Structure 1
Amino acid sequence: MSEQEDIQPEGSMRPEMKFPDFPSSDTVKALHETIEDEWDFLQLSACQTAAGRALWEHVIHDPAAAVLAGERQLRSIHEKIIKDRLNNSREISGVIIAVRTLWFDSKIEDAINSFNGGESQVVILGAGMDARAYRLRCLKDAHIFEVDFPKLVQMKTLLLQEAFGSTNEHNQLKVVAKSLTRIAADIREDDWYEKLQRSGYVPHRNTVWVLEGILYYLSDLNAMQVLKTIAANCPFTCTIMLADFMNKSSTTLSNSSFHFYSDWPDHLLPSLGFTDVKLSQIGDPDADFGLMRDPLNLFNKLRHLPRSVQNHPDDGKPCCRLYLVKASGSPEKTVT
């Protein structure tokens, strides 16, 4: 057998991703029925991300993900995973969510450690069904602020209270972070930053900004306003932003559900005031996590091509890329 033939598809060396067990009372089921009936595509994407994390539990370890995802979203992705395995697919459904989640987890920890102690803040914009405040030990001295739509914030709180609010110690879900504050705000509106400050955010405290799976849903105007607001903090305190960017080709994937893009975020962000920008693609050494072993999977094939190439030379298909970006700035590095 040749070396190439010996390579296994993504996930084949990992434990089977079984349908997760989770506390699902009649109330939890009713809440998710409301979600499925009333939420739009953008809001539902929060549950889809949670479902991906729940089904890749063997690498992510998120105890709240299944409850926050809901049974319908879990079954949808689980069925795709089974189909992908049967077809020996090179990319198993949910692997992008898994790698992206692990990349953000690792970079959040690096950022917190770079502050060299003291209190810090982590602001998660478009937080969705994120549960990092409950599972990342590196956040024990950090104040966490989750910002999202009012109806999403309310529903997330209700789901967690219903599923984990038991007096049974074994069933409780505890906040690991020093504090957790949820802010009901739409980052497409002009008042979200003011609401964040009124909720206890301190502009002069070292801050990690997390924008995972959110920028490309915004219009160009809204996305740029958010990025400029974050960059404006760099002259006052150590500021680290973690975000994922789609290139232009990727925005064609979902019937115009995606809008904002940047083919060169490492050029865009310095123009806004960030002084240090590092870019990775899924499959790079810091964005692999043992899940991207096949050199012929979509992500490995793309990352070895120059970013200026718009269509793959093998099949002529558009090169749809997802960039994982760490951008930072601090008062001593600010150029005046």
Structure 2
Amino acid sequence: MSGTTPHGRRGPAAALSGIGDTSVGVAVLRAMEHGRPDRLFEDPYARRFLQASGGTEKWAAKPPDGRGFLELMAGQVAVRTSFLDRALLDAAGGGCGQVVLLASGMDARPYRLGWPAGTRLFELDFPEVLRFKRDALSGCGAVPRCAHVEVAADLREDWPGSLRAAGFDPGIPTAWLAEGLLYGLPTEAADLLLADVTRLSAPGSALAADHAEDSPILRAARAAVSAELLGLWRGGPADPDAWLRELGWSPVVRDIGEVSAEYGRPVPPAFDPALDGTGRGWLITAVLV
């Protein structure tokens, strides 16, 4: 990282790169959804993240002969956010006293969801991402609606140790969130992540996630935004259902288009089989049996 403000604090735009910067793109899409009269969820904090990030114009870039990232992914982010909100709240209300947001990015769920009494939520990400969010939300009255613990950690290192040190109890059923994460991991890294999550999970723990195939239409849209964004998609598990079952989870893997229809929304263009050059997208819930 480089750059400081006159007050000696890291400037937000300079403090984020890679995955952290990508999460600002998700905040753009959440802010767009919040502004719709028929919005599927409320996220008044997304705009705070955008204001703190500096320029967000790059996310509107389009390839010369195709659709832009915002157009392709707006529907997916809207539907997945609402779907995963409900999955986490259902798990927390059903006996999962702990919630862990893996690589939380610009996730405002600690502040915007009505968590059951007694919920303890751990938000895990790079220290610069957590710092950025803390600064962005300063002074706007954002208050966590549950016990909220920040865990500065890198998923490539001993993040389970950092989580335990922050007070996480592996003996308590836990609701895990992996949103916008799995397709950014190589297959081997996704396997290691799930193995760690499973070791930390008591029976009855829940996992909520999304996953997506890469495709020509998505690659072109990402390339129009930045070369760095183009390289952040790494594949993840080839078969989410088999991947979870192998380690003792009982999953439900649903096609994003099917869930979108239930929400009264069209199939997100990046995952519409009627369009050339698209891939498949899924929303996933699972319980450890």
TM-score by length of 2: 0.79
Measured in 1, the distance between the counterparts of 2:168 and 2:194 equals 17
Deviation at 1:114, TM superposition (A): 2.6
Deviation at 1:145, TM superposition (A): 0.3
Deviation at 1:232, TM superposition (A): 2.3
The letter for the 1-side match of 2:151 is I
The letter for the 2-side match of 1:277 is P
CA distance 1:244–1:66, change in 2 (3 Å): same
1:159-308 superposed matches below 5 A: 159-161=136-138, 163-164=139-140, 172-177=141-146, 179-189=147-157, 191-234=158-201, 236-247=202-213, 249=215, 253=219, 254=222, 255-274=230-249, 276-285=250-259, 288-292=262-266, 298=269, 301-302=272-273
Higher relative contact order (CA 8 A, sep 6+): 2
Deviations 1:157-198 (A, max 9, x none): 12212x42xxxxxxx222111x00011000111x10011011
Matched, 1:325 2:271: no
Measured in 2, the distance between the counterparts of 1:270 and 1:262 equals 12
Deviation at 1:74, TM superposition (A): 5.2
CA distance 1:250–1:41, change in 2 (3 Å): farther
Corresponding residue for 1:158? 135
Q: Is the 8 A contact 2:43 2:112 kept in 1?
A: yes
The letter for the 1-side match of 2:203 is T
Q: Is the 8 A contact 1:133 1:180 kept in 2?
A: yes
Q: Per the alignment, in what secondary structure is the counterpart of residue 48 of structure 1? A: helix
Measured in 1, the distance between the counterparts of 2:271 and 2:132 equals 38
Corresponding residue for 1:146? 123
Measured in 1, the distance between the counterparts of 2:216 and 2:199 equals 28
Measured in 2, the distance between the counterparts of 1:300 and 1:149 equals 30
Q: Is the 8 A contact 2:271 2:281 kept in 1?
A: no
Q: Is the 8 A contact 2:72 2:269 kept in 1?
A: no
Which of 47, 51, 72 matches 1:66?
Answer: 47
Q: What runs of 5+ residues in structure 1 fail to find an aligned partner?
A: 1-26, 82-86, 165-171, 303-313, 331-336
Deviation at 1:140, TM superposition (A): 3.9
Deviations 1:44-84 (A, max 9, x none): 0111111211121142211211111236565555x679xxx
1:36-75 superposed matches below 5 A: 36-57=13-34, 58=36, 59=39, 60-70=41-51, 72=54, 75=57
Deviation at 1:137, TM superposition (A): 0.8
CA distance 1:63–1:319, change in 2 (3 Å): closer
Q: Is the 8 A contact 2:206 2:286 kept in 1?
A: yes
Measured in 2, the distance between the counterparts of 1:221 and 1:93 equals 26
The letter for the 1-side match of 2:246 is S
Which of 121, 127, 132 matches 2:98?
Answer: 121
> Which stretch of structure 1 is more off in the superposition, 245-254 or 281-290?
245-254
The list of structure 1 runs, each at least 4 consecutive aligned residues, that deviate by more than 6 angstroms after superposition, is none
Q: Identity over the aligned pairs, expressed in percent?
A: 26
Question: Considering only CA atoms, is the larger Rg found in Structure 1 or Structure 2?
Answer: 1
Deviation at 1:324, TM superposition (A): 1.1
Measured in 1, the distance between the counterparts of 2:32 and 2:23 equals 15
The letter for the 2-side match of 1:186 is D
Matched, 1:131 2:105: no
Measured in 2, the distance between the counterparts of 1:67 and 1:318 equals 35
Q: Per the alignment, in what secondary structure is the counterpart of residue 182 of structure 1? A: strand
Which of 76, 83, 89 matches 1:96?
Answer: 76
TM-align CA RMSD: 3.0
Q: Is the 8 A contact 1:185 1:195 kept in 2?
A: yes
Deviation at 1:250, TM superposition (A): 7.4
